[in-house]
C-alpha cells in the first residue's frame, strides 16, 4: 500500500505512518515498513519538505510554509534546509505580486485595508510586510 501511495506523490514519514495505522497495520509493522522504504530511498522527509516548499513558494510566506511542514511531522532540520532554498527570494516582492494578483487596487477604506492585510497574514506574511505592500500601493494610486 505504502509503495502505491508514494508512487502517486511524496509523503512525510508521519503522514504515511498515520495512513498505515488507519488501515489497521500494527505499530511495529508500520515502523518496519517505513524503515525499509527509507532505506530503499522511496521515503524521505527532506525530499518531501523540498516538494512542499517548491509548491508553496510565491503563494505563501516563510511562516506559513514552515507551519505546514511542522503540521506534517517534518523535523526542524529538514524543514530548515528546505526553507533555506527561499533565502534568495524577496518576501516583500512575493507578497506584492500576490497582492497585485488578488486585489490590484489600493484599498478604498479602512475596512478594505484590514481585509487585505488579513489576506496577506493568512498567507504567512508578517504585518509589517503587508502594510509595506499597501503603503506602496497607496503611493502608486496617488501618483496616477
Neighbours of 136 (CB within 10 A): 14
Instruction: Please give the pLDDT value at position 59.
Output: 87
Instruction: Please give the pLDDT value at position 39.
Output: 95
Q: Is 39 helix (H, G, I), strand (E, B) or coil?
A: helix
Instruction: Please give the pLDDT value at position 88.
Output: 64
Spatial contact of 134 and 116, defined as CB atoms under 8 Å apart: yes
Which fold is adopted by the domain 1-43?
Answer: Arc Repressor Mutant, subunit A (1.10.10)
By the 10 Å C-beta count (0-12 exposed, 13-18 middle, 19+ buried), 75 is classed as middle
pLDDT above 90 (res 87): no
Which fold is adopted by the domain 44-89?
Answer: Arc Repressor Mutant, subunit A (1.10.10)
Q: What is the pTM of this model?
A: 0.77
Return d(Cα 98, Cα 104) in angstroms, integer: 9
> Percentage of residues in the chain with pLDDT exceeding 70?
94
Amino acid at each position: 500500500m505504502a509503495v502505491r501511495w508514494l508512487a502517486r506523490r511524496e509523503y512525510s514519514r508521519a503522514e504515511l505512518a498515520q495512513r498505515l495505522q488507519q488501515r489497521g497495520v500494527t505499530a511495529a509493522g508500520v515502523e518496519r515498513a517505513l524503515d525499509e522504504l527509507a532505506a530503499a530511498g522511496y521515503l524521505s522527509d527532506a525530499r518531501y519538505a523540498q516538494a512542499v516548499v517548491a509548491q508553496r513558494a510565491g503563494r505563501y510566506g516563510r511562516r506559513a510554509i514552515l507551519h505546514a511542514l511542522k503540521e506534517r511531522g517534518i523535523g526542524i532540520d529538514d524543514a530548515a534546509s528546505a526553507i533555506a532554498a527561499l533565502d534568495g527570494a524577496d518576501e516583500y516582492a512575493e507578497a506584492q505580486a500576490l497582492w497585485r494578483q488578488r486585489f490590484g487596487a489600493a484599498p478604498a477604506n479602512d475596512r478594505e485595508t484590514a481585509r487585505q492585510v488579513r489576506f496577506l497574514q493568512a498567507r504567512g506574511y508578517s504585518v509589517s510586510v503587508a502594510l509595506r505592500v499597501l503603503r506602496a500601493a497607496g503611493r502608486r494610486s496617488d501618483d496616477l
